[in-house]
Homo-oligomer: A and B are copies of this chain.
């Protein structure tokens, strides 16, 4: 997979602001060392391309690695490198944190996608913008490694009208009146509106919207609302959002939606990753 666009030097500095005092006091320095990062659980791997880049910046040669998106099993080595002792000890937790958190998200995403696609393989699994502040680049890669795609990376390239926009605009009707013009000026984009009201959804679609994000309905009401919409707009994009997680994903996947939008994948227990550091001969 692609290399995520993160500030690698900042990640190193976050764990080793100046030096590893313990190593310095013990006199560890230029001697050659070998570092192997392995998993103690089944997982979908993520973060190894980034680990390789951290190795590269620290002068550590990568001897072998698995790609992000591959599956791994207990004992599998995810990345193995060799370099000077101080470099290896610096890379250690930086790489471990990177891999265990992103692999945790990738693994959880993999399970979620399997649940959804077990029910209906046609449904898009999309993740919201609501990841932990500062982790977008890594979290996006992690959910993509696990088989999902981002819903919106930011607000600058997609159109999704929320109630908050409508409030500021002065009401639903004013928003409706704007849709035809938006459709023209942004002819390449699909226009979505968030609402849980079937009548409002129909009004939006009639005014030019391409799809509806339906928030916080249960599977039953959602099905009804989708059916009401599809009766008139069989090709409207219908997304379900709000409170969907591993427990109810299959139920939502059984409704007539096109995509599930979820935040739940960002909070994943890190994979149990071990690191073995030994002298290199």
Contact = CB atoms under 8 A, between A and B. Distances in A.
A94 to B, nearest CB: 7
Nearest to A261: B188
Given A132-B132, A158-B157, A2 B24 contact: yes
Contacts of A29: 1-2
Interface string A6-23: 110111111111111111
Contacts of A63: none
Contacts of A137: 18
A264 to B, nearest CB: 9
B28 A186 contact: no
A231 interface: no
A154 interface: yes
Given A2-B90, A277-B164, A158 B14 contact: no
A270 interface: yes
Contacts of A28: 165, 168-169
A21 B156 contact: yes
A61 interface: no
A31 interface: yes
Nearest to A156: B18
Interface in A75-111: 85-86, 88-90, 92-94, 96-98, 100-102, 104
